[in-house]
Amino acid sequence: MAADSTTSGMNMPSATSTSTSPMASMSGMADMSNLGPKGCSMQMMFKPGFNASSLPPETCSNTTSELFMFNADASQGWVAFHLVNAAAVSRLSVSLDGHSMLVYAADGLYVEPQEVKVLHISIGQRYSVMVRLDQTPGNYYLRFASYPYGDMQQVIEDQAILSYQTNGTSMTNMDIMDDSTLTWMLVNGSAKLTAPELDDQMLAPFDGNAPPSGPSDTTELFAINQTDIVTWVVNGQPFSEPQSPIIYGNVSDGWNAATTLHMPGNSTIDLIMYVANDSMDTMGHPMHLHGHKFWFLGSGEGVFPYQSVTDAPSSMINLRNPPYRDTIDLPPSGWAVIRYDTKTA
């Protein structure tokens, strides 16, 4: 995870791996049985002849560092944070004790503002938020935690501090507002029942940027499947890194690979993606399209039950004001549909 603030630079403290606690058990996590005694995720699948007893002793441990403090000026009224999830395998949840966050940008573009108490950020996503400095001057925990998504259940959490004061207030004398009634999030990243969470499908572009209406020029259906311990395939084709980068064009050995799709220019493209039923791992996935922004038309459970976007009802597909960004979640055992325009590439 990486973050910065308009008021200060940042060196985030290292994350803490936390074992199961009463607070974690309250959260409704799908399954804690794949966590070791120190809260580390167990390996979820093995090659033939191996099992959990083949693993070496658990070696992860708690890490600590000095809490980073963001200093803000209450007379300014607001503070802005830019949040990035730079993790490898975990969704991230963020909350600020005693305060709401007003999400105003996603993946670098302005969106219709959405007020939340807990912000879930998928791998690679970026959000900008504004916080109103309207509480009692003091030090407030800015909390970060992994979020249980599919079968990725490791509990990792940490904190920084937002500090603000009025004229004449001594920062050195201010206590941390460590009050459970001010927290919106449990240690496993789940929001409390009364805490509003981000609805990423409601992040309409602030400038009203809408996708081309009607049918697309090209529709591609992708089944995402894990066929081996470290092998992921799309529609039965495993990706291999070409010896010569494909950006070099047809001189690249990857130019005509089965995993290279040649899309027409000046066209509207729909990509319908889903997690295959026979996948070894049905967890959710972040999906990113390099060099493009796309419209996030919808997502859901199971397999998308239509052959095209125009066949689907408006309750499933949003062509009026969908989010416009470059990274989304493909839900566990679910589907997602995006539309992009090669005329703007």
Overall domain count for the chain: 2
58 shares its domain with 153: yes
Q: What is the pLDDT of residue 32?
A: 47
CA 16 – CA 316 distance, rounded (Å):
39
* pLDDT value for 56: 76
pLDDT at position 230 is 74
For the record, the structure tokens of 112 come out as 């219709």
Q: Does one domain contain both 271 and 331?
A: yes
Q: Is residue 83 part of a domain?
A: yes
The verdict on 83 and 137 lying in the same domain is: yes
Identify any residues that bridge with 69 across adjacent strands, giving them in sequence order: 161
Domain end, chosen from 199, 227, 262, is at 199
Query: Which pair of structure tokens corresponds to residue 111?
Result: 């969106």
Sites in the chain below the pLDDT cut of 50: 1-32, 345
322/343 Cα distance (integer angstroms): 19
Residue 93's nearest CA partner among 196, 242, 8 is 196
Domain span including residue 102: 2-199
Residue 206 lies in a domain: no
Examine the domain organization and report whether 195 and 227 are in the same domain: no
Q: What is residue 187's three-state secondary structure?
A: coil
36-87 tens-digit pLDDT: 665 566 656 677 787 777 777 776 666 677 888 999 989 899 999 999 999 8
Whether residue 107 contacts residue 83, with contact meaning beta carbons closer than 8 Å, is answered with no
* 333 and 289 housed in the same domain: yes
User: For the sheet containing 101-106, what is the strand order?
Assistant: 2-5, 78-84, 126-132, 101-106, 109-116
Asked if the structure places residue 208 within a domain, the reply is no
Shared domain check, 131 and 68: yes
* Global confidence as pTM: 0.82
CATH of the domain at 240: 2.60.40.420
Same domain, 174 and 260: no
Cα separation, 312 vs 322, whole angstroms: 15
180 and 265 within one domain: no
Residue at 212 is within a domain = no
Pair 185, 223 in one domain: no
Residue 262 identity: H
